[in-house]
Amino acid sequence: MIVYDGKKTDFLRSIEADSIVDEIEQSILEKMGRHTAKSEIRSWENSLKEMYVVMNDPEIPDGAGVAIEYNIPQTSKRVDFMVSGFDAQNRPGVIIIELKQWEELTAVEGMDALVETFIHQGRHRLVHPSYQAWSYAQLIRDYNQTAQEENIGLFPCAFLHNYKRKEQNDPVDAEQYREYYEDAPVFTKGQREQLRAFIKTAVCREDHSDLLYRIDHGKIRPSKSLQNTIASMLKGNREFIMIDEQKRVYEEILDASRRCQKDLRKRTVIVQGGPGTGKTVVAMNLLSELTGQEQLVQYVTKNSAPRDVFKLKLKGNHRKSVIDNMFKSSGNYVGAPDNAVGTLLVDEAHRLNMKSGMFHNMGDNQTREIIHAALCSVFFIDESQRVTMDDAGSIDEIYRSAAVENSEVIPMELQSQFRCNGSDGYLAWLDHVLQIRETANFDLEGYDYDFRVFDTPKEVYDLILEKNSLTNRARMVAGYCWEWPKDKRNDTNYHDIVIGDFAMSWNLSEGEPFAVSETSVHEIGCIHTAQGLEFDYVGVIIGQDMRYEDGQVITDFHMRAKTDNSLKGIKALEKTDPEAAYRRADELIKNTYRTLMTRGMKGCYVYCTDAALRKYLLGRSS
């Protein structure tokens, strides 16, 4: 959908008449049914005047096409400014321009494509503008049939018109961003002529065939190159080989998705499964197969950690990849059109929030927004892994939202365990010993799973180091009972967790994901970096938020670190309804440790800061 489109002369006249903002605002109201925020209006006023100066060049043809706020079909992504036409060899081309009002930015070391800048009255991490422009162009290349079949050239760039670039060593040009700005150059304050020259390389003749209109109305179809890329990445990757129950569920979901595309009826699949049942393995195989069947398919999670890890495992050594656009945040579907996506694969669905956005003030209900956006929505869920106050994903909510969206619900279950060495018994024992629910599994006798309790955290760490030396698949994790100071989050020499003579840092906030980094075995992860992922062996430090007193496993949310937002709001609830607060906190804290203690497929090694809990677990596991 194009909010504003016309020829170059139309755009210049609208700017000169001071009507461009009114025209865009009215178009958004008519086409999207929403009013525009004042901040967005100010952004248009400033940036479009800059583009007026750029476009006011006689060598850019008057008949060049101009589009403003182009909503890439079947996504929530909007391109700020596009110019269309033909080059000197009469080849069709479209310039994609990402407009930024940023006045400064800093490079974020060790984080692929991220920069830090000041917006919304604070400093925030955002993607580098070159990456943003490149990804938009790649989305159109990968999914727009018109662009594919007519070989329309797509040329992305970014224009930071308020940004004063340093002559040397400017952060926007940092080496870590090279592969992005080589494909999508950045133009800054004082570089209008360079931007004009870039436009004229692809658009020096007028757009005589309405390129932008035809792209906007082009069919959505994954390109052959995208289909081949995701298929080749998955092929031969042992981590994504399905077994038994996983294959059955996979085939049933394939069938449901195909029926949706054929009869255009919504279907919502609920796949229940505990830790290690292979939910993500099924999701990755569906992502590949359905893309190969020319569907628009996306893998969705609330937390970025699983997305980052699985992208990396698929891409290997390739940092920039066409598959990046297939991995989305659960907050990506606010305001998305009905049935915009063929199939959405929602992993860790128990972690879904109600509202989206940086301040949790966007949208209404992530579950319903996802069902609304997809013909086929698939929710992989384990309600016992809800670990924060914001976690609102539930089977009941999926049923409610599906009813509102008139979607048929298909329940499924994954039962076979391949984590915990095939031991359903270990999981049942864990529920029993943590007093989450009563089971018949009183001890671990007869189970082929390496569970041990140690007297010191160093013993746990030493054993994790030994196991990790084999395959880089062992990690330390802990309950969030130690502070994580913001200014120390990338200082490996600052030890957040100190227990006697044992001292380690929380996982660093920069660099490769915790689950795959070669150095993160020397750091300690928390629930936010470990959930949804798995290792061969996991070492768990249980803090003072869970203790053993008078024959009971008790929890104490007052012992959680202040930097932990997972229980944000619990103290306010305590003032109005103490019983509800304690009940909710007890559930979330026990779920947290249950989740951490099921990250290891072959073994779990535990240290408890509470000596009584240590003795209790030791007695129940021997």
* pLDDT single digits (tens) 375-402: 999 999 999 999 999 999 999 999 999 9
Helices assigned H by DSSP within 332-471: 366-373, 395-404, 424-433, 457-471
**Which segment of 20-29, 387-396, 589-598 scores lowest on mean pLDDT?**
20-29
What is d(CA 347, CA 330) in angstroms, rounded to the nearest whole number? 10
Q: Which two tokens stand for residue 303?
A: 């937390």
For the chain, what's the residue count?
622
Output the pTM of the full model: 0.85
Give 460's pLDDT tier (boundaries 50, 70, 90): very high
Q: Which two tokens stand for residue 86?
A: 């033909």
Phi first, then psi, for residue 535 (nearest 5°) are: -130, 175
Give the CA angle between residues 524, 526, 527 to the nearest 5°.
Answer: 155
What is d(CA 412, CA 448) in angstroms, rounded to the nearest whole number? 28
pLDDT over 80 at 237, yes or no: no
Does the domain spanning 224-414 belong to CATH 3.90.220.20?
no
Q: How many CA atoms lie within 13 A of 63 on its CB side?
A: 11
Phi first, then psi, for residue 553 (nearest 5°) are: -85, 110
User: Looking at the chain, which residues constitute the CATH 3.40.50.300 domain(s)?
Assistant: 224-414
Tokens 């016992």 -> residue: 384
Decide: helix, strand or coil at residue 270.
strand
Closest CA to 8 of 341, 450, 16: 16
The DSSP element (H or E) to which 71 belongs, if any, is strand 65-71
Per-residue model confidence (pLDDT) at position 549: 97
Distances 582 to 529, 556, 592 between C-alpha atoms, Å: 25, 8, 15
The mean pLDDT of the chain is 91
Residue 560 Ramachandran class (φ > 0 left, ψ -120 to 50 alpha, else beta): beta
What is d(CA 364, CA 374) in angstroms, rounded to the nearest whole number? 17
Beta bridge partners of 299: 327, 345
Q: What is the 3-state secondary structure (H, E, C) of 86-105?
A: ECCCCCEEEEEEEEECCCCC
Give 74's pLDDT tier (boundaries 50, 70, 90): low
Mean pLDDT of 297-301: 96
Per-residue model confidence (pLDDT) at position 615: 97
The DSSP element (H or E) to which 129 belongs, if any, is helix 129-143
